[in-house]
Structure 1
Amino acid sequence: MATKVVLLSYEAVDSSTSRRLNLRMPLKILDPGRSKLSTVETKRIISVLDETIFKVELVSTFTYILENLEEFSISLGPELTGPLKEHLRLSNIMEATLARLDEEGVLCKGTAKGGLFGAEDPDGYLALHIQGLRSSVRNIMRLFYANPLAYQAVREVASSRNPSSTEFINGLLELRGFLFEKLLTTPLEDKEKSRFMYEIAQRDKKNMEMIAALEDELTAAIQNRDDEISRKNAAIKELKTHLHNLSKFSENQIQRTRTEAEKQQKTELRGSQTKCTRLQQELHQLRAQLNALIAEDRESEYALRKKKYKVEMEIENWVQKYDFEMIEKQEEIEQIEVVYTVEKEQLAELREKFALLDQEYSQIKEERRVKQEQKEKAEKELAILVRAATLIQALWKGYLVRSLLRTKRKKKGKGKKAGKK
């Protein structure tokens, strides 16, 4: 049973070791097949997202620039300082308008200050202010595009940006990375990744179930071993108790025999010499019996001690045998792991070669398909040209026949008219 548990335990160790080796291998299948965007549509998508991130980064610094406009007036120049002041004025007007609408109770309940959804503007100024702010932001963005040095000066104050704006920009950057990877990945590669992740999950689930089963079996084997040791300890304890009781019984019996002998000697000492002699003989007999009992008890104790020593030696031999088998199995597992690692490396090399051959085969197949399509297209065009030429020839022949008929008819008509005259 112990040997079976050891084998199962090493199988679990081998399974877990192979799983770790698989995880350490480079997961090339999860990487995109390309490093650059190939189509115009994907490049346009990424460029639109980059431009959006650029605009958000620039707009998020407006608050700090407007608060410290005097410090940035030199680096921004009069072309940007004037529009920024105008934007600050429009922002103040918008704040005042929102405060007035809030006091009048026009803004929806629960709408944050500056939120415009659900607001009613009876005078119609709110829409004009919103349009003015939008136009101001567009104008400032165009001026920044035209002045790269001003944009570089503004980027240096990125640390003064609002934390919520920074978090939003980081979210856009993460979205760009995810979208870039998605655009690099073809549908076939995406499908292959999904299949690979599903296989990994199924393999991990199967390994976990196997480990749980092996742990249960190991626990049961350890429990059986502990129960067996407990039974042997109980047997040893019972034998010690029996030996102690036997020694105590012998001592009590000797003490009782001596007491009876002394009493009998005192009571019968006054009798006769013959009784004394007889009693002495009986005493010798009792002593002989006592010696025999003592010798028997010693032999029994020796046998029990010998049995206990034998049991202890058997236990020690089993432990040594278990350790020796464990060492042998460990060496065998290490050899298997070395062979497994070499085979894994060979398998990886073969897979790489197969991938290259598969790619070349796909290219050759695609070239053949394109050539076949071109050939079919040329044949179709040739058939159309042949048919058109045939139709043109037929029309031309018909035209020639009709021309000859008209000529003959005219000649006949002229001949008839000459006869009549």
Structure 2
Amino acid sequence: MATEEMPGLSYELVEASQPRRQTLRMPLKILDPGRSKLTTVETKRIISVLDETIFKVELVSTFSHVIDNLEEFSPTLGPELTGALQEHQRLSNVMEATLAHLEEEGMLQKGTCKGVVYGAEDPAGHLALLTQGLRGSVRNIVRLFYANPVACQAVREIAHARHPANSHFIKCLSDLRGFLFERLLTTPLEEKEKRRFLNEISQRDKKNTEMIAALEEELAAAIQNRDDEISRKNATIKDLKARLHNLAKCSESQIQRLRTDTEKQQKAELRGSQAKCSKLQQELNLLRAQLNALITEDRESELALRKKKYKVEIEIENWVQKYDMEMLEKQEEIEEIEAAYMVEKEHLEELREKFALLDQEYSQIKEERRVKQEQKEKAEKELAILVRAATLIQALWKGYLVRSLLRSKRKKRGRGKKGARK
């Protein structure tokens, strides 16, 4: 039964993986820091302090070797550094002698606590003075090394002469520096995104593992069913062989026929079972290939997304810089406009005062013009009346002249007609 249900399960898994391609396309390189350089002053200071600490530890860890071979290094170190190292050796010897003396007298308990010897009874206070002197000597030697780059480089080149514990300590500091640098490069948003991505990868891996385990269980069940079927067939064969053995005396031909049929049936069922197992194995290989293809596809899309993210960040930085520059220019323009506005405002006040005076004068002039205009209109009306009267008089006079002329012509015509009749 398990072998018959297997193909349907594999198809469902393949179909379910299609939408996950669209939703889970996070690149694997999201685990890397989003930036390559520190941007804030605080983070740069932290890394700078840690680098300086590692540098000082590298210098201090070589003091014993340099002191043991002081004659060899003295030409490179110079007289001042050589004297400081000799003084440091003297203080170290005095400290060792003092500690040995206190230990012999039972006034010292071996051990240190944060670099300070504890459990010692030192009424005179020599141990504290020696400790303070050694600290000052180390600070002085480090300061002199800072002032002498050649000697500093020569001492750093003898890293092989360090004690293994010192080398291990320096390596731990360097690892701490790398870890801290990576953490400082990662923003809280990127850290949250990284955790979310790891959680998704873990869930996907868990689901794929469960899927493979289920397929393997079904494959094992199918193999077990095949083995059980073969066992049952073998038991049947044995039973048939026993029966054939009992019936051998009765019918040899029947026994041979049954044996042949049984073997054929066994081979056919074995071939069918092997075919089903091969099909299940092919489906399992197909699912594994699909899983590998999904992982490869995610890795390929990661680079494109990474480049796109980097390009967007560069564009954002450019736009921010451009915005800042434009804001500065706009601020300067605003200040210039405000200054011009104040000047114009003062000028406007002056113009308003002048306008008030001019408006008053204009009102007076306007009133005078109105009076003159009324007088002019009155004179024009009177003139129009006179002109009209003159026009009427002229019209009447012309009419009178025309009528008089017509009368005289009529009289002349009447006289002419009378003379012709005579």
> Where on the TM-score scale, by shorter chain, does this alignment land: which range?
0.5 to 0.7
In structure 2, the CA distance between the partners of 1:143 and 1:370, relative to structure 1 (3 Å rule), is closer
Distance in 1 between residues matched to 2:191 and 2:134, nearest whole Å: 44
Matches within 5 A, 1:151-300: 151-247=152-248, 250=249, 297-300=251-254
1:311 to 252, 256, 265: 265
Distance in 2 between residues matched to 1:10 and 1:369, nearest whole Å: 54
Distance in 1 between residues matched to 2:257 and 2:8, nearest whole Å: 38
Deviation at 1:88, TM superposition (A): 0.8
Distance in 2 between residues matched to 1:158 and 1:346, nearest whole Å: 43
In structure 2, the CA distance between the partners of 1:59 and 1:10, relative to structure 1 (3 Å rule), is farther
Is the 8 Å Cα contact of residues 9 and 218 (structure 1) preserved in structure 2? no
- Aligned-residue CA RMSD in angstroms? 4.4
Are residue 111 (structure 1) and residue 111 (structure 2) matched? Answer: yes
- Structure 2 equivalent of residue 390 of structure 1: none
Is the 8 Å Cα contact of residues 97 and 126 (structure 1) preserved in structure 2? yes
1:125 partner amino acid = H
1:162 partner amino acid = H
Distance in 1 between residues matched to 2:16 and 2:270, nearest whole Å: 32
TM-score where L is the length of structure 2: 0.64
In structure 2, the CA distance between the partners of 1:226 and 1:9, relative to structure 1 (3 Å rule), is farther
Deviation at 1:339, TM superposition (A): 8.1
Distance in 2 between residues matched to 1:163 and 1:147, nearest whole Å: 27
Is the 8 Å Cα contact of residues 212 and 284 (structure 2) preserved in structure 1? no
2:203 partner amino acid = Q
Distance in 1 between residues matched to 2:112 and 2:310, nearest whole Å: 59
Q: Secondary structure at the match of 1:168?
A: helix
In structure 2, the CA distance between the partners of 1:46 and 1:196, relative to structure 1 (3 Å rule), is same
In structure 2, the CA distance between the partners of 1:31 and 1:319, relative to structure 1 (3 Å rule), is same
Is the 8 Å Cα contact of residues 10 and 333 (structure 1) preserved in structure 2? no
Return the index of the structure with the highest Cα Rg: 2
Deviation at 1:319, TM superposition (A): 5.2
Deviation at 1:172, TM superposition (A): 0.5
Matches within 5 A, 1:13-412: 27-107=28-108, 109-111=109-111, 116-247=117-248, 250=249, 297-315=251-269, 317-318=271-272, 321-322=275-276, 325=279, 348=302, 351=305, 355=309, 359=313
Distance in 2 between residues matched to 1:46 and 1:158, nearest whole Å: 22
Distance in 1 between residues matched to 2:56 and 2:118, nearest whole Å: 23
Is the 8 Å Cα contact of residues 145 and 152 (structure 2) preserved in structure 1? yes
**Greater RCO (Cα-Cα under 8 Å, separation 6 or more):** 2
Q: Secondary structure at the match of 1:77?
A: helix
In structure 2, the CA distance between the partners of 1:207 and 1:192, relative to structure 1 (3 Å rule), is same
Gapped regions of structure 2 (runs ≥ 5): 21-25, 340-422
Distance in 2 between residues matched to 1:125 and 1:6, nearest whole Å: 86
Distance in 2 between residues matched to 1:138 and 1:342, nearest whole Å: 55
Deviation at 1:143, TM superposition (A): 1.1
Cα displacement string for residues 56-92 of structure 1 (whole angstroms, at most 9, x for unaligned residues): 0001111111112122222212121111111111111
Q: Secondary structure at the match of 1:84?
A: helix
Deviation at 1:27, TM superposition (A): 2.1
Is the 8 Å Cα contact of residues 247 and 255 (structure 2) preserved in structure 1? no
In structure 2, the CA distance between the partners of 1:46 and 1:335, relative to structure 1 (3 Å rule), is closer
Cα displacement string for residues 294-342 of structure 1 (whole angstroms, at most 9, x for unaligned residues): 5xx1342244134224414523552574488569858977996898689
Distance in 1 between residues matched to 2:42 and 2:57, nearest whole Å: 23
Cα displacement string for residues 267-287 of structure 1 (whole angstroms, at most 9, x for unaligned residues): xxxxxxxxxxxxxxxxxxxxx
Of all paired residues, the percent bearing the same amino acid is 56
1:318 partner amino acid = G
